[in-house]
Amino acid sequence: MNESAIHVMVWAEIPVLMAELESQFIVHNRAEIKDLAGWGAAEGPKIEAVITNGMLGTEVEVLEFLPNLKVVCSMGVGYDAIDTGYLSHRGIPVSNTPDVLNDAVAEAAMALMLCLTRRISQAERFIRQGAWGSQTFPAGYQLTGKTCGMVGLGKIGRTIARRAEAFGMNIAYYRRGGPYANLDYRHCHSIIELATEADYLVVIVPGGPDTRHLINDDVLAALGRNSYLINVSRGSVVDEAALIASLQTGGIAGAALDVFKNEPLVPEELIEMDNVILTPHLGSSTHETRQAMADLVLANLRQFFNDGTLITPIN
């Protein structure tokens, strides 16, 4: 394989990946293409691989200009933004980067849970505003002895659950496929049942039409005014309008959100609430994890052009 002769289209410039890609392949940056039709006619037939991520996905309008596309490699575990049906119809395989981000996302979930329940963000602002000494900062709640309800218990979910266990929490979960065999965690037969039991409801399921608004009015009502929602999956999984209404009326105690419906736009109502923790989709954002994800993207790409297979295929 002569990698230096292979043309690769990058959907977004990924700093940790670009130097390696540019040293080994001929790289075309989607963000720099202004005249898509002109570029497509001249350069589109040269492209054999596309690199993207789980949030940007792929645009069919662009893929139509790539008649010789052979593979799509995505940096991230989620792939709901990638039109896998279209690519499968064309016989184009897709890879993602599972497992290497489990620990980082689990750490982020626990950080959000702790920040929310111990009011860490508010406490930090309390000191910066000079209030310590003249006012008493209100007490928070501890995780020990509380129930962590996991909506989804895949590899990332289990990693979160193990960390929550280490904090002395009880673990319950719901999954559409029913209970896992040989797992001691309590399985609930519906999200409503899980929400009723949970002090902290952690959402970690794939995005897409099957999970859109999985967390809705009924789930939030079952969760109740003394419990919290933590979302580290996709913004589409939570009915954002229902969540805002519940928070405004005291329907739930608070929420910690790393993902949103229309990223990077965050509703002003959420920004204004003191019982909501907001982070900019940083679940996998550690230097170690991003490097491991980039390494896996490159390994998938190299292996595909060596023997036609992928290390982590999704279709």
Q: Which long-range contacts (CB under 8 A, 24 or more apart) does 124-127 make?
A: none
| pLDDT reported for residue 2 | 60
Spans of the chain below 50 pLDDT: none
Q: Which helix (H) or strand (E) holds 72?
A: strand 71-75
| pLDDT reported for residue 56 | 87
Q: What is the pLDDT of residues 62-106, one digit of tens each?
A: 999 999 999 999 999 999 999 999 999 999 999 999 999 999 999
| pLDDT reported for residue 3 | 61
Q: Rounded to a whole number, what is the distance in angstroms from the first to the last CA of the chain?
A: 24
pTM, rounded to two decimals:
0.93
| pLDDT reported for residue 54 | 83
| pLDDT reported for residue 44 | 97
Residues forming the active site: 234, 263, 281
| pLDDT reported for residue 196 | 98
| pLDDT reported for residue 36 | 93
Q: What is the pLDDT of residues 157-167, one digit of tens each?
A: 999 999 999 99
